[in-house]
């Protein structure tokens, strides 16, 4: 059963064109040119209970605006949305208890206080039972490996430690829906991995519905099976991430190692050359007819070893972005 339903959602922002200089300011005072920006236009999708989906798109595509509308921060220009049976922008207290939103570039914790004080504030806001609160904080702080940092001022924590605290604060009231907007932005590889592992485990245990935006493809590949791709405010793909490569031409990437130096001229007849240097080469080949092409390569070139992989997900998604931008 779908816990999030979005139908023809649209959001426009109006702003003024500002001319430079004193004369321009005087002119704008009496004659302002109003411009309109369509941040989101006519998007429709749904999310099942317990599902983790990726909301993907280039900068300015409308991902954050969509999350803000689904969490009730922004009112839409038109369209409908139901989140766990509630209209988000009505901002009912019952709805606020059902979700949390974590934005990687915004803080919800008090900067000069220990994270534990912010947790306790959330406990009071959501009227959480004392025993449940203690149990939740102990469990999540252990899973996120931040128990020893609870009494440290937030401003003295590293970026990775702060983000773990932000996620912990968002889960104090055990929300059924979690919106994550770039939760690993700016973090090192180890911190990213720990947060991904935690989110995957938490989703499996609590069946929390999660919508995730991220420009790190490792986040997407490890956590999500399905992706909704937005370009220029519109949904251009909604389906399994594994199907994106098929959509973009069903290609394979062949990495070859040779026993002697090979020139691009020798590789060119077999497929599109991605890389060629001395005794290594990388080709892009269609999946159809792959066996025959590989047999020709093995019989015609001094191959020592080879590997066959999918086209990287980020490349296929970037190709979708480029095609939509051109169209």
> Residue 282 is part of which domain span?
249-310
CA distance 270 to 36: 50
Is pLDDT of 324 > 70? no
Distances (CA, A) of 145 to 81, 161, 198, 266: 36, 9, 10, 53
Say if residue 159 is in the same domain as residue 178: yes
> What number of other Cβ atoms are within 10 A of residue 209's Cβ?
25
The CATH number of residue 186's host domain is 3.40.50.300
What domain count does the chain have? Answer: 2
Say if residue 232 is in the same domain as residue 157: yes
Is pLDDT of 261 > 60? yes
Query: Please, are residues 218 and 45 in contact by the beta-carbon 8 Å criterion?
Result: no
Q: What does the pLDDT read at residue 326?
A: 42
Residue 318 lies in a domain: no
Say if residue 193 is in the same domain as residue 260: no
**pLDDT tens digit sequence for 41-94:** 899 999 999 999 999 988 888 899 999 999 999 999 999 999 999 999 999 999
Q: In which order are the strands placed within the sheet that holds 34-48? A: 34-48, 2-16, 78-83
Say if residue 181 is in the same domain as residue 261: no
Q: What does the pLDDT read at residue 157?
A: 92
Residue 319 lies in a domain: no
Q: Which pTM value belongs to this model?
A: 0.82
Distance of CA 246 to the CA centre of its chain: 21
């Amino acid at each position: 059963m779908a816990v999030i339903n979005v139908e023809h959602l649209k959001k426009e922002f109006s702003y003024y064109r500002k001319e430079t200089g004193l004369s321009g300011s005087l002119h704008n005072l009496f004659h302002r040119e109003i411009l309109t920006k369509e941040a989101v236009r006519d998007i429709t999708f749904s999310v099942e209970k317990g599902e983790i989906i990726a909301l993907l798109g280039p900068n300015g595509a409308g991902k954050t605006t969509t999350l803000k509308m689904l969490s009730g921060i922004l009112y839409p220009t038109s369209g409908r949305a139901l989140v766990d049976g509630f209209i988000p922008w009505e901002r009912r207290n019952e709805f606020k208890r059902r979700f949390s939103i974590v934005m990687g570039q915004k803080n919800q914790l008090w900067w000069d206080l220990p994270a534990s004080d912010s947790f306790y504030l959330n406990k009071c806001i959501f009227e959480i039972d004392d025993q449940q609160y203690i149990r939740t904080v102990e469990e999540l702080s252990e899973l996120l490996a931040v128990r020893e940092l609870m009494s440290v001022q937030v401003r003295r924590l590293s970026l990775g430690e702060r983000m773990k605290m932000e996620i912990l604060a968002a889960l104090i009231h055990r929300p059924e829906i979690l919106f994550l907007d770039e939760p690993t932005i700016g973090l090192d590889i180890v911190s990213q991995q720990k947060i991904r592992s935690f989110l995957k485990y938490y989703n499996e245990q609590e069946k929390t519905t999660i919508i995730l935006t991220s420009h790190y493809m490792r986040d997407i590949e490890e956590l999500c099976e399905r992706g909704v791709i937005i370009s220029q405010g519109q949904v251009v793909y909604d389906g399994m991430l594994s199907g994106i490569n098929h959509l973009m031409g069903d290609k394979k990437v062949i990495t070859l190692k040779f026993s002697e130096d090979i020139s691009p001229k020798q590789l060119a007849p077999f497929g599109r050359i991605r890389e060629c240097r001395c005794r290594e080469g990388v080709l892009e080949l269609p999946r159809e007819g792959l066996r025959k092409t590989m047999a020709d390569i093995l019989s015609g070139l001094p191959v020592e070893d080879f590997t066959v992989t999918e086209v990287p997900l980020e490349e296929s998604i970037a190709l979708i972005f480029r095609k939509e931008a051109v169209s």
